[in-house]
Chain A
Amino acid sequence: MEGMTRREILGTLGVLGAAAATGAVTVGVPGPATAQQPQFGQQESVQDAMKRLFGARPIKDAGGLVKLDVPLIAENGAVVPVSVEAQSPMTPQNHVKGIYIVADKNRIPVVTHVALSPEAGAAFMGANIRLGETTDLRAIVEQSDGTLLQVKREVKVTVGGCGG
């Protein structure tokens, strides 16, 4: 902030305020650059989220193809380590295109989505996520031919981590 006059600082704050005001109207709606992609970060029910992301596409049970690694009991919902590993040759013809992590009872159920390219060499992702309460956690793997595979696990949460 050195070298800035009081007037300049106030001016900058005003601009930020205006940006925040417009942002409030478009919460969860990304800019035009990402308009064609599925939108994330909305507060909605898990049914709505699944419908929005996958439409009527059938979701198969992954069986042993996808491994979802998450603690059975998460003592602190604010930080829950989760990792997903799918068996895939990861060739340009046959690879895992994306992995979704969905927490059914979170207010924002779609936790994260990762888009993978064949260069990744392995269909693997890990993240630390928040869980509001004891919930089913789903990992949905999208393969390059459009097949969707799902693994579902219940996670017991002792202290919720999503706040209000």
Chain B
Amino acid sequence: MQDVGKVRVRVPSTIKAGEVVRARTLVIHPMERIERDAKGQVIQKKYNYITKLTATYLGKQVAVFDTTQSVSENPFFAFAFRATDPGQLKVTFIDTHGGKYEGTADIRFS
């Protein structure tokens, strides 16, 4: 579990100014699912899973995901944004144990 919190952000290699671009992001995270004991009772504990993903581009929020335990392990998300200026696309994940994981991608025009 060395890689927990590793964030990857991918954008297309060629972007034209003003284009609507689809970005893909992935974080290495266990996304613990609800466990039950032999009687089928839910084990009450603080499960570690991602609850929020915030994507900002040039300081402006473009997409905010609220996520639950119904999302896969090592969650992958995709979203779109309009690439107006060169700058940074930043994605922040927050989990229930207070972990904050960030990844960035530089938007450059070719």
Contact = CB atoms under 8 A, between A and B. Distances in A.
Given A114-B79, A124-B22, A164-B35, A119 B60 contact: yes
* Contact residues of B: prevailing secondary structure: strand
Contacts of B96: 23
A161 B40 CA distance: 17
A122 B62 CA distance: 10
Given A108-B69, A115-B64, A43 B42 contact: yes
A47 B81 CA distance: 33
Contact-residue bracket for chain B: 35 or more
Interface in A56-113: 78-81, 83, 103, 106-113
Contact of B68 (A41, A81, A83, A114): A41
B51 A30 contact: yes
* Contact residues of A: prevailing secondary structure: mixed
B100 interface: no
A119 B76 contact: no
Interface stretch (A5-13, A127-135, A142-150, A151-159): A127-135
Interface of B: 20-22, 24, 33-36, 40, 42, 44-46, 51, 57, 60-82, 96
